[in-house]
Structure 1
């Protein structure tokens, strides 16, 4: 009798447990979908902000490569060299030009003939060069801000040692936060006007002095949204039109001028990405890229 009574109860309890598990899974799945939709929306906003920064300097982003191939040759016109270089400081621009030369083999003083000479490169390699250049632009932005901050703090310390009142007290800096310190208030910090001036180290020398940990910290993308944005953008740009895959051995004939345009755009993209990520993270907490 007892077993006969417990049988249906066990079946009912098992059914209820299965129903609860189903509800839990459904709620978890809905939460995951909402989170995914939110991330896509954030990435879209980030891309539009980057797109806007390019529009400010009147540089259209390169479209899907297949739209730039004419008679079997990839050509990206106009070059927009001046506009893409105008966003960088002189110190950063020097390093950007070295990067372009290293990647393309095209010297800064190359002739028009050299610029329009052709070379062959696989679609896969071109995509890798583009992504690497984005990361380099991101790194330069991060390193340059770190450099400016350390130079400014060195000036303050020099003032203190010489008995001068620093232009900004610690209490003044705190309310504005790190972003204001880096982008606004830091510019008002004057140099030491004395015989013992603070030695100015160039950005290039400063970066070359990085230890591996500091180098990785400056080069690493801070958010998962930034990682996903770069992946999606590179796939949209270099992916095969039919399969969407970047991993293809297709060989592309192009000019050195077009290569330079792609690399310069990528570096600028990385620079704008750093700014955009910083801004978005101030209003919406981005996911940390661990």
Structure 2
């Protein structure tokens, strides 16, 4: 049975979104949901003798695999072929832009078509209802196409960084991920120095300092599949929010330095990243940031903490429905249907919502919930993975990078095709189905 100190990273996980006071509302809502349902997060113990999801696949694939998601639209499949074979990614970028232009033209044509209404009122109402259904289907098809194209844009950045995606973990078992040092460097070199500090805080608050000190000797973790998916989803959201905040921070810092140096002729020095990559790439992939300067006293964390309620709301929200669909596509491809996984997990500890089921033998406290969950993991009623701390770090770093790159891909796509803005009523948690 778990001891409380073994689960102490649970509370830390809810405090890792950029700054404790900044994203406390988002983080606490996730934490309260898990506590309300009496769902313990991670169990330490011996490494489970399970089969890895990709057991036997020791050789690297001959062609680049553009993510675990299965893409269905014709436009995405055309781009996907280029992504597998194009080493410079230039053809990929041009094809994506062309597909977005075609999609924009299709959208304009579909939204401008207005058939002449018939004379009879009943026939007119029937035609109106049919038109609305057709328009709804067309919007869904366009959103799916745009989101899959954006997904491939994220995949192209991972190819540029020479970092393969984690394979699907839906099969459960012992997770063994490629821990090549160059790949880990690629997952961290996309950030400014200020943002990288917050990424490290996020990582170590989840994994813990003790595990970092123990290194390979740290015990493996047995995690319910739903919980692993939630960690990935939260880290991806963190990466998206962090990138969005950092873009504003870097722009404001450049403006501040220009104001300080308005009497000086020298241009502010720009820090280049990814120097090990020599090949030309599309413009939106070339990221650079203003180097830190002693005259800039506000850190990125302090900068975010200074936001007002409206600024925080904008930073904490995904800008488009397409970006939301991309996150759902990736997480579902990796872990499966999270709603189904969550249902099985809650059923294993016999908890419904925030209350115990009537006349049930459900858990009455955290210790009993932990014991019931452990029984579900052992019996197989709750899907799970067994993962080392090193592999958990790799998973978290990929998730944060995925969210960060998604923000850049979203901005680039929106310059060619008008994405669907997310209204407050459209926003939903990444508790996916």
TM range (shorter): 0.7 to 0.9
**Higher Cα radius of gyration:** 1
SS at match of 1:245: helix
Contact 1:134 1:270 in 2 (8 A): yes
The number of residue pairs the alignment matches comes to 249
Q: State the Cα distance separating 1:109 from its structure 2 match.
A: 5.0
Specify the alignment match of 1:66 in structure 2. Answer: 170
Aligned mates of 1:65, 1:257 — CA distance in 2 = 16
Q: 2:229 aligns with which of 104, 114, 127?
A: 127
- Decide which of 13, 16, 25 is 2:129's aligned counterpart: 25
Instruction: Pick the aligned partner of 1:150 from 243, 252, 255.
Output: 252
Report how far residue 106 of structure 1 moved: 4.8
Query: What SS is found at the alignment partner of 2:187?
Result: helix
Identify if the C-alpha distance between structure 1 residues 203 and 107 changes in structure 2 by more than 3 Å, giving closer, same or farther. farther
Q: Deviations over 1:30-53 (max 9, x none)?
A: 121111111110001000000111
Instruction: Find the counterpart in structure 1 of residue 302 from structure 2.
Output: 205
| Aligned counterparts, 1:1-290, within 5 A | 16-67=120-171, 69=172, 72-78=173-179, 80-106=183-209, 109-114=212-217, 117-160=219-262, 163=263, 198-239=295-336, 245-247=340-342, 248-249=344-345, 250=382, 251-290=384-423
Cα distance in 1 for partners of 2:341, 2:332 equals 6
In the alignment, the residues of structure 2 paired with residue 53 and residue 41 of structure 1 have an alpha-carbon distance, to the nearest angstrom, of 19
Gaps of 5+ in 2: 1-118, 269-282, 346-381, 424-433
Structure 1 unaligned regions, length at least 5: 1-14, 169-179, 192-196
Per-residue deviation, 1:252: 2.7
CA distance in 1, matches of 2:408, 2:132: 34
Q: Name which structure has the greater RCO, CA cutoff 8 Å, separation 6+.
A: 1
1:54–1:158 distance in 2 versus 1, CA, 3 Å: same
Whole-angstrom distance in 1 between the partners of 2:409 and 2:154 = 7
Deviation for aligned residue 1:111: 4.4
Q: Distance in 2 between matches of 1:198 and 1:63?
A: 45
Distance, in Å, in 2 between the alignment partners of 1:268 and 1:205 is 22
More helix by share: 1
1:113 to partner: Cα distance: 2.1
- Root-mean-square deviation (Å): 3.1
